[in-house]
Amino acid sequence: MKRILTLAAGAALLCGCHRAAGPSVNLVSVHFQQATVLETTANFTIRLSNDAPEARHFTGSAHKIYLNGLYIGKGLSDHTVEVPRLGTVTQEITVHLSNLALATRIKSVIEAKRFDYRIQSTFYGKGWLERMSSETEGKLDLKDFTPTEDATNAPPAEAKPSPPPAKEQPKPGSTLL
């Protein structure tokens, strides 16, 4: 009997620690809102993608955001979101960035014009044990969005035709042959 109770307790412990896989999360855009000496507020737009055959209903979520391996901050949402079956939705997440903690480290991230991001998300359901987790990684290269001369539809500078020479006008009292 003691052995059965030990096995049951162990199974319950293992089942309670397992979190179901949540929807995948991708970064859509970032907008900086307010800035003070100590803190900057950024709104991250994320896309939640549900590849499950049933809709998923969440009553809140928490998202840890990293840029180039640097922890930027945590975004929390208490908004109820339903991700349709085999569908996507977008969600706005507000993240408060500590300027003092990031001041020396964020410069290299901005100058690189290339960002690797990682988002660790936890989604909360209606019940106490209804949690789902996901972790997503991606890349954003700002050079892909910067127009260059090679990427325009305009012809190259040396291919532009030169204007025709002006016709020579006869000088008064002379004739042109």
Residue 167 pLDDT > 70, yes or no?
no
d(CA 152, CA 51): 38
61 or 97, which is more confident?
Answer: 61
Q: Is 121 within 8 Å of 133 (Cβ atoms)? A: yes
**Which secondary-structure segment (H or E) carries 117?**
strand 114-124
Contact between 100 and 39 under an 8 Å Cβ cutoff? The reply is no
The pLDDT of residue 172 is: 62
Q: For position 169, what pLDDT does the model report?
A: 58
Look at strands 56-58 and 24-35 and give their pairing: unpaired
- The rounded radius of gyration (Å) of the Cα atoms in the chain is 29
21-149: CATH topology is: Immunoglobulin-like (2.60.40)
**Digit-coded pLDDT (tens) for 47-84:** 999 999 999 999 999 999 998 888 889 999 999 999 99
For the cut 50, the answer to whether the pLDDT of residue 13 exceeds it is: no
Asked whether residue 110 carries a pLDDT value surpassing 80, the answer given is: no
Mean pLDDT of all residues belonging to the chain = 77
Q: How far apart are CA 68 and CA 137, in angstroms?
A: 10
Residues near 124 by beta carbon (within 8 Å), at least 6 away in sequence: 58, 59, 60, 61, 130, 131
pLDDT by residue (tens digit) across 112-144? 677 788 999 999 998 878 899 999 998 877 666
Instruction: Kindly list the domain boundaries of the chain, sorted by start residue.
Output: 21-149
What's the whole-number mean pLDDT along residues 144-168?
55
Top pLDDT among 72 and 4 is at 72
Distance of alpha carbon 11 from the chain centroid: 38
Bridge partners for 173 per DSSP: none
Report the C-alpha gap between 133 and 90 in whole angstroms. Answer: 17
Give the model's pLDDT for residue 94: 93
